[in-house]
């Protein structure tokens, strides 16, 4: 049978999602724990392979198994074999047509940026940081040009393996909460480093290094070299994956809303 699971993890405790020979990835930790419950090898497929340092509040993955276990065994049982930095939140049985990656209709990411004079200590590795004053209104205005279907080559990593740079951005919002600036992105899919590159360029606008209209110029240029450098992964969270309603995932298989992150 096929099991879908929802996972949260602190990305700064791992070297990315995808399995590696050294075994220090989220996938490696989960597959090791799942194998102990299934008493057989288990291979996971996820909705989005996050990079080193990138967190998740709502990652979705699936695996196939012949082991018959109560669904709670795939949650509490698996969690008993996992480090504190990663945990399974739910598990549901789905049919064989479900695919964590290819069945997903859209993804939601949030970037949390601390904007203050001194670097974070307690939140180190969990938020991005800039010491310069940011014009959030200008950043939000600059981000509006990203909504719609576009060629995002200017914000794509050189090593990106996606066949096409075309993506549909459903919504972008930049807002301030005290010393924290929150960037929310909702799209059908994202390119490698796309959000970190978008945040880096939006921060340039917020710092006054570039005008609001520059963002649209960079997007239209389809040239990675004219955009800002890639921003740090620390504040990036995969906050939800949306699927058609026919699968019994939590929330009706629709929006898994990002939780309110506890920040000063």
What residues act catalytically? Answer: 51
Interatomic CA distance for residues 2 and 204, integer angstroms: 45
Interatomic CA distance for residues 158 and 140, integer angstroms: 26
Interatomic CA distance for residues 27 and 112, integer angstroms: 24
Q: Residue 42 in contact with residue 1, Cβ under 8 Å? A: no
Interatomic CA distance for residues 36 and 76, integer angstroms: 13
* Residues 6+ positions from 260 with CB-CB distance below 8 Å: none
Helix, strand, or coil (residue 125): coil
Q: What is the CA radius of gyration of the chain?
A: 19
Q: DSSP letters along 220-258, please?
A: HHT-GGGSPPPPPSTTEEEEEEE--TTS--GGGGS--PP
Q: Residue 204 in contact with residue 121, Cβ under 8 Å? A: no
């Amino acid at each position: 049978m096929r099991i879908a699971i929802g996972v949260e993890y602190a990305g700064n405790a791992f070297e990315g999602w995808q399995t590696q020979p050294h075994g220090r990835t989220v996938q490696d930790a989960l597959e090791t724990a799942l194998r102990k419950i299934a008493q057989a090898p288990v291979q996971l497929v996820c909705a989005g392979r996050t990079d080193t340092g990138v967190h998740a509040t709502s990652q979705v993955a699936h695996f196939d198994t012949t082991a018959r276990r109560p669904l709670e065994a795939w949650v509490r049982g698996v969690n008993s074999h996992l480090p504190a930095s990663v945990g399974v939140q739910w598990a549901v049985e789905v049919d064989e047509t479900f695919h964590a990656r290819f069945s997903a209709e859209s993804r939601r990411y949030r970037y949390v940026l601390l904007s203050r004079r001194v670097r974070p200590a307690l939140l180190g590795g969990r938020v991005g940081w800039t010491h310069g004053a940011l014009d959030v209104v200008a950043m939000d205005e600059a981000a509006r040009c990203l909504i719609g279907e576009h060629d995002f080559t200017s914000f794509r990593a050189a090593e990106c393996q996606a066949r096409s740079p075309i993506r549909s951005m459903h919504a972008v919002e930049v807002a301030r909460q005290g010393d924290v600036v929150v960037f929310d992105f909702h799209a059908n899919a994202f390119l490698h480093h796309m959000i970190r590159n978008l945040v880096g360029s939006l921060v340039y606008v917020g710092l006054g290094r570039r005008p609001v209209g520059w963002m649209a110029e960079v997007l239209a240029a389809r040239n990675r070299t004219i955009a800002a450098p890639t921003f740090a992964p620390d504040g990036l969270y995969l906050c939800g994956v949306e699927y058609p309603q026919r699968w019994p995932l939590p929330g009706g298989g629709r929006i898994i809303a990002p939780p309110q992150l506890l920040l000063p």
